[in-house]
Structure 1
Amino acid sequence: MKGVLLVNLGSPDNPTPKDVKPYLDEFLMDERVIDTPKWLRNIIVRGIILQTRPKKSAAAYQKIWWEEGSPLIVISERFAAKVRGETKMPVALGMRYGSMSIKNALVELEAKGVDEVLLVPLYPHYAMSSYETVVVKTMEEQQAHFPKMRLTTLPAFYKNEGYIEVLSKSIAEGLKNFDYDHILFSYHGIPERHIRKSDPTRFHCKIDGQCCSTNSVAHNTCYRHQCFDTTERVKAYLGLPDEKVSNSFQSRLPNDPWLKPYTDFEFERFPKEGKKKLAVITPAFVSDCLETLEEIAMEGKHQFQDAGGEDYKHIPCLNDDDAWVNVMAKWVNNWETTGELPS
């Protein structure tokens, strides 16, 4: 029997330092997030970051926490429930980090008689620290606890026509009645070395302004290329002028080169160039979370306005939008009947 496993990032159970600390520990100790030797990762995470970050992160979570719980969890549950209503297959939801684990989701599917699972990492783009770690963790759990269960993984869908259409229409809806000077596609940041580590050719990805536009098998696992490609496809779909659209990368750790340009630097730069009405989209996520709701929608707005910006609009992620649900349902139902995956 076939079933579907949706996997998103995860969240602490409560917006308190006590609950945030173990969540951050699991997240930051992931070797695909901070990809240093374990002894050094221990020092960085447990010796430095976890001494102060839980309190700060808890305060940020408190600013965006909903009455029902973590926005990411609530939104993901709503999305899963809607997908469940559009397919005959069992659909389970798991998180890469936190108490709502991938293992528990697989237990749920197994109890319903599922022995063939379509794994759906809820990330449009391939990156070590998002898509890849979900796949690896799910495979580890399957091999350790569900050896008779077969896994098939949905590929990164950053350029899928159905996804681009619903993303574009969502952005168009968000831009209604907003007279923007500029639209910023802000993607989650990753260290530059992650791009090179993910390059199967070991020579194509130079992050030099040319490699992302030069065709290569490396693009199948190149986060930077995939982000830029998503932007270009949305621009084409909506007919957006080149001069009013750009890309940036948010969230980074210090003392390491991460993908550029940095979103917070762009917030400060735009008003100086006369771009004082800014719309921001965060397409690295399909569900709004701490990073989109607090860092971009709240702190980003303050940074932009403090730098002289006037109007600022954060356009929400797809979340549980019915059109997005229909696209996902089409993918999973097609896999059930034909075994084919979207491209």
Structure 2
Amino acid sequence: MEIFRLHYPNEEDLSSLEPSAAAIGFFDGLHRGHLDVINTMKKIADEKGLKKMVVTFDPHPSVVLDPSHQRTTYLTPMDVKIKKLEALDIDYLLIINFSSSFAGLEQDFFVQEYIIKSNIKALISGFDYTYGKKGKGTVEDLKAYSDDFSMTVVDKFKYLDEKVSTTRIRHYLETKELEKANIALGRPYDIEGIVVQGEKRGRTIGFPTANIEPNYRYFMPANGSYAVTMTIENDDTVYKGVASVGVKPTFHDNARLTTEVYLFDFNKDIYGENVTIYWHYFVRDEEKFDGIEPLIEAIDGDAKKARELLKDL
């Protein structure tokens, strides 16, 4: 997959790219609605003999357009998004820097400079895609460029009679509805990180944990315990366990958020290893206990419940 990072003004000459079908959108999460758009693009590309392209943006437009609700954490941070798109057999990826200058572009200028000059012959988007200054450009406006490219609009993908969206999935993660989040995503929510030194308190109470420092600015599940699986780079084994997200209120009053994973039947030193946590089920809210014994009892209960939840994976 060839990657092009574009800015405004655009100094990259993309006229030499082979004619492409392009899916356009922010695509945070690459959830089932996004995949509907991308798979439609791939089908059109195959039918018309075009290359497969994805056009996306960085950072999230809210950083420029809506500072009071700006989104600076992601379901799929850009580096993760790139890897997942590469796995989808995409030929070209255009990443456009969403700056204040770019946000102020007139509709036609955006289309001419970033769509037509990129040799895009078929454009595919979700039904609610907007573009140009103040987001006034719509998919209906894009259909007016039929002499330059075809425009295909993909309808909303629904789950529980609601549109599958990044916002909805973030809500599910906030409200500990992991199963709904994973159905909307079409896969277990996953977070990449590195195993770092922690307080090592877990091994003293019989539950040695791996302290995971996320590699990127992920949107984290709500504080609590979860049934998870975890993979370690260069190791084909899928390990099962229980993860804790929180601030360890039994031991701290104002601690930073940490993510720890207790893997079942595991006894290896993995400091410095890159790992991926896959979040499957919510187990229990984070609690502050009056001492070590009730904490041990709770963790033991979490582990038993997680083993049961994960037994058929």
Give the helix-richer structure, 1 or 2: 1
Higher strand share: 2
Higher relative contact order (CA 8 A, sep 6+): 1
Q: Give TM-score scaled by structure 2 length.
A: 0.31
Task: Decide which structure has the larger Cα Rg and report it.
Answer: 2
Relative to the length of structure 1, the TM-score reads 0.29
